[in-house]
Structure 1
């Protein structure tokens, strides 16, 4: 027991563990049951080696953090929660996501306050994702940029393309194989700008590559954003306002092939062309060349036909002129023959008369 020198009274001093253990007992007494809580995941903190997850949770107001706490999802709980969550939302748990979860409020002397998450309601997050998607669409329409990229002229031939994808993506490989092996032998020039295609960091990664492409926009006919080879999980980033705005305002036509979903993302809505899968994008590019090829072949056929018709018409006219000339020539010759005959007859008659007159003159 220590003495307070100022008041000369006994001073009670506690160890840190005394205080924290007391707080822990209070939490165990008053927070013995789990609670349903709403929050946003600011950082996921998933550790594959252990399988555990330690999300940092926040509540924001006017863009500023109002409350913050650590949480825990043990491996077995995480497996069940993630499986159910992805089945419903088609998205993995990720940073920036609003969730409603059931958790025990825990306090330990060693780690302080935390929330032990035992369940997450995916329908709440699904509703939040839908709300954020509609908000992005309405905001872009209000700003007058929703249809902007669709107004960018699409070149007749898409020969030089910038591709935003992952180098290991099956969709990227499918695109290249389809383009390289087109039956007509058309040749395409492509450059890969690698980026994350889903989940945390995808929005900024894709935007960063779009900025790089914009710096050399004159070197490309269009931009392709493609992903494939997986399921539809992880498409929430394509509903993000910042990424959709970047696509809508891009100076080159943007063509998307980012999934098999019938529920279009905002990026797909604002892109100049959406062809669903990377293979569909490749066929679209090939079809442009084939259409141009068909038009050239049709033009050649039309020129040949027109030339043939022109030659036939000229030949017919020549034959008609030849026949007319021949008829005119024969008529002229016949006329001349008749004239000569008449002249010859007249000459004979004149000579006969002259001879007759000369004989009469001699007889006198």
Structure 2
């Protein structure tokens, strides 16, 4: 366009480029066209346009980094999975009637201490399983929700029965914990076998770095650290939400990586802050989360530690945060606080497998990633 201060801008020329031609970026020149100032008798578009010069331009993409937050989590479903066996004179469904949605949330809370998210649905009752070639006779008594609630109210034992339902729900949660533990082990075993087959026939197997050699070989190397987000941070309230920030440093090292302060971010902040630290052979990486206060000293929210055995091959995952004993006394049912970080390493000065100086022409990929599965 030709800019004009006192009237409408004038068109110099235009062009169209297909996005399919720019999939890997592009740089070059294109022909500009504009409507003819003197139109001819032809009605075809080609006769109504004229060349208006050439334009040089380039297109470059900034690709989003794949991380635990952007990568789609894996999913696995188990249909027809037996959860509970009902014995004679036992009931099913009374916890749902008395507790409502709390019943399902309590059962799904069996996976709170794992890196997985559990979803239960489509409960069904099966009776009369075949045993020894003959069907066992089963008698099932069914009552509607309204009649059941009326019966509980007339019995004048509603509070005692509600407490009993809570206890039985927690017992069922413990049962599910044992079931999902075995299912997770089976899933991980299948994934390991699948990855082994892929690594054996498709890709090159990367040897793990020994932590003792790592501490010597990587001394002076840069660790690129990304502090992504945190979950279930304790502290703050309705009118005074947390203003969290995180500090990352190697144990005993004065150099630190400090994130930005997120005003009123609450218990689930997202920093996505990147930086680097120089490794000096330390045995652990320490993470602390603080609540910024403008008029007084900042409050410690939680601390976490990543040992050298965990980050020597790179790290991508969630680190549990421990809170002070005072906060544990304030909230006994506190959820586990977590922080998500990623660690990638530059090429070390020495080869960690041989202990000899590394050839500067070689490149060593020491960073690793882990997929967070839910």
Which of these two proteins has the greater Rg computed from alpha carbons?
A: 1
The structure carrying a bigger helix percent of its residues is: 1
TM-score, length basis structure 1:
0.25
Bigger RCO (CA 8 Å, 6+ sep):
2
